[in-house]
Amino acid sequence: MKQKILVIGAGITGVCIAEALRRADQSVTLVDRMRPGDPAQTSYGNAGILAREAIAPILDQAMISQIPKWLLSKDSPVNIKWSYLFKLMPWAIPVLRNAMKDRIPQTMQAMNNLIYDTVDQHINFTKGTNAAAFIQKGEFIFLYPQKTNYLSDIYINDLKKSLGVQWIERDFAELKERDPALGDSYKFGAAFQNHGWLTDPAGYVASIANHFTANGGTFIEKEVVDIGPDRVTFKGGKEHIANTIILATGAWSQKLARTFGHKIPLQGERGYHIMLSNPSHKPDQPYMVTDAKYGLTPMADGLRCAGTTEFAPLDTAASKSPIDYLERSIKQVYPDLTWDGKGTWMGSRPTLADSLPMFGRTKSAPNVIYAFGGQHLGITMGPKVGQIIRDIALDKPTNIDLSPYAVDRFD
Q: Tens of pLDDT along 10-21?
A: 999 999 999 999
- The answer to the question of residue 355 being in a domain is yes
- The answer to the question of residue 411 being in a domain is no
Count Cα neighbours of 213 within 13 Å in the Cβ-side half-sphere.
14
Q: What is the mean pLDDT of residues 239-265?
A: 96
Q: What is the DSSP letter of 113?
A: H
Does 120 have pLDDT greater than 80? yes
pLDDT category, 207, cuts 50, 70, 90? very high
Does 96 have pLDDT greater than 80? yes
Does 214 have pLDDT greater than 80? yes
pTM of the predicted protein model: 0.97
Rounded Cα distance between 341 and 339, Å, is 6
Backbone angles phi, psi at 68, to 5 degrees: -55, -45
Q: What is the mean pLDDT of residues 209-229?
A: 97
Percent of the chain with pLDDT over 70: 100
Does 392 have pLDDT greater than 90? yes
Q: Tens of pLDDT along 132-183?
A: 999 999 999 999 999 999 999 899 999 999 999 999 999 999 999 999 999 9
pLDDT at 67: 79
Q: What is the mean pLDDT of residues 109-128?
A: 98
pLDDT category, 69, cuts 50, 70, 90? confident
Q: What is the mean pLDDT of residues 292-305?
A: 97
C-alpha distance from residue 192 to each of 137, 152, 250 (Å) = 12, 17, 28
Q: What is the DSSP letter of 64?
A: H
φ/ψ region of 141 (left if φ > 0, alpha if ψ in -120 to 50, else beta) reads beta
pLDDT at 70: 80
The helix (run of H) or strand (run of E) holding residue 351 is strand 341-352
Number of domains in the chain: 1
Coil, strand, or helix at residue 270?
strand
Determine the structural domain holding residue 387 and report its residue range. Answer: 4-405
Rounded Cα distance between 185 and 191, Å, is 17
- The answer to the question of residue 67 being in a domain is yes
pLDDT at 68: 80
pLDDT at 64: 77
- The answer to the question of residue 100 being in a domain is yes
Does 355 have pLDDT greater than 80? yes
Coil, strand, or helix at residue 20?
helix
Coil, strand, or helix at residue 387?
helix
Domain CATH number, residue 290: 3.50.50.60
Q: What is the mean pLDDT of residues 228-248?
A: 96
- The answer to the question of residue 320 being in a domain is yes
Q: Tens of pLDDT along 8-48?
A: 999 999 999 999 999 999 999 999 999 999 999 999 999 99
DSSP per-residue codes, 173-207: HHHHHH-TT--SS--EEEEEEEEEEES-HHHHHHH
- The answer to the question of residue 410 being in a domain is no
- The answer to the question of residue 31 being in a domain is yes
pLDDT at 183: 97
pLDDT at 63: 79
Contact 30, 14 (CB under 8 A): yes
Which residues fall within 8 angstroms of residue 387, CB to CB, at 6 or more apart? 20
What is the average pLDDT value for the chain, to the nearest integer? 95
Q: What is the mean pLDDT of residues 339-346?
A: 97
- The answer to the question of residue 26 being in a domain is yes
Does 75 have pLDDT greater than 90? no
